[in-house]
Amino acid sequence: MTLKSQTGLFPALLINRHYLGTVSTLLYNWPVFASIFFFGLVMLVVSFFLPVPWNWLSLTCGLGALGLILTVLLTTYIVYDWGAKHEYDRLAELGNLQQANVIIDITCGKLRGTRGFLPLFKGGHYFLIDIYDPETMTEAPLRRAREMEPPLETNRRIYHRPGTADKLPLPHNWADIIYCNFSLHEVRHLAARKALFAEFARVLKPDGRLLIAEHGFDLPNFLAFGPGSFSFFTADTWQQHIASAGLKVQHHERWRGLVHLWVAGRKLRSLSS
């Protein structure tokens, strides 16, 4: 399991931070967008040849399909690309990034979060751990992402390592920060997610911090992304995984209404225990 790969389509677009999230969403899911666009266009054309009231129904379906595309792309831009501050900036702030010496970045092949987070970390050791499993992570958008994602370009040395959900290639009590930017929902199996969070607890230093950014499977995300929201998990799912691994939520907030940000750490034993 390698992180990358051949450079695919439009590499310049996939490294431009101003609209990276929007372009990535469009490119990784282009068959879905193309199908919806084609359906909308056909419905608009057909509406000119149908009698009342069927022409209005066809027109509504066509406009609705095209409107869905615009809504998803606009929402994606607002969540990922709009403004000078992004979710990875906020996580770096919450996680006291500049105090860290060892950063573990968990990915399944998408590097938008890494491209944003890495420049904020000025020193120390940065490990990029790819936990992609082709047997269980079979979704077409993720496969296209891995094919299209340009190689990570950086002036500093970072360490690339393959790993699995149940075995991260890292020592015990070692990481100051474990960073997961929209990567955890790709781990679809419950047992694999439990094993991964147990690995987080093992690898973190006693005062280390787990930083997570994930969408939630909830009404706002459904209204924003439609059926695409079915690939997300509920916020309670992640909170339960954090707790079952012996970690404690130190901070939780919603980023622009659609993304959950967590900071968690190991539970410290009391002096009396």
Mean pLDDT of 166-190: 97
Cis amide linkage into residue 53, ω under 30° from 0:
yes
DSSP states of 118-159:
GGG--SSEEEEEE---TTT---HHHHHHHHHPPPP--SS--E
**Using CA atoms, how far apart are residues 76 and 118, in angstroms rounded to an integer?**
22
- Please indicate, yes or no, whether the overall pTM of this predicted structure exceeds 0.75: yes
**Using CA atoms, how far apart are residues 195 and 226, in angstroms rounded to an integer?**
30
Mean pLDDT of 236-265: 97
Q: What percent of the chain has pLDDT over 70?
A: 92
State the pLDDT confidence band at 155, using cuts at 50, 70 and 90.
confident
Q: Is the pLDDT of residue 4 over 60?
A: no
The helix/strand/coil state of 112 is helix
Question: Sign of the C-alpha dihedral, residues 198, 139, 10, 40?
Answer: negative
Backbone φ and ψ of 77, nearest 5°: -65, -45
Q: Is the pLDDT of residue 226 over 80?
A: yes
pLDDT in tens, 26-85: 999 999 999 999 999 999 999 999 999 999 999 999 999 999 999 999 999 999 999 999
Q: Is the pLDDT of residue 102 over 90?
A: yes
- The confidence score (pLDDT) of residue 81 equals 95
Q: What percent of the chain has pLDDT over 90?
A: 82
Q: Is the pLDDT of residue 128 over 80?
A: yes
- The confidence score (pLDDT) of residue 12 equals 66
Could you tell me the residue ranges of all domains in the chain?
Answer: 20-81, 87-266
Who has greater pLDDT, 118 or 12?
Answer: 118
Nearest in space to 129 (alpha carbons), one of 100, 101, 169, 95: 169
**Cβ–Cβ < 8 Å for 55, 47:** yes
CATH architecture designation of domain 87-266: 3-Layer(aba) Sandwich (3.40)
Q: In what order do the strands lie in the sheet with 102-107?
A: 159-162, 125-130, 102-107, 175-181, 204-215, 259-266, 247-255
- Integer CA distances (angstroms), 168 to 67, 145, 160, 161, 179, in order: 43, 22, 12, 9, 13
- The confidence score (pLDDT) of residue 227 equals 85
- The confidence score (pLDDT) of residue 273 equals 37
Please report which helix (H) or strand (E) contains residue 219, including its range. Answer: helix 219-225
Number of H helices, E strands in the chain: 9, 7
Tokens 């590499």 appear where? 11
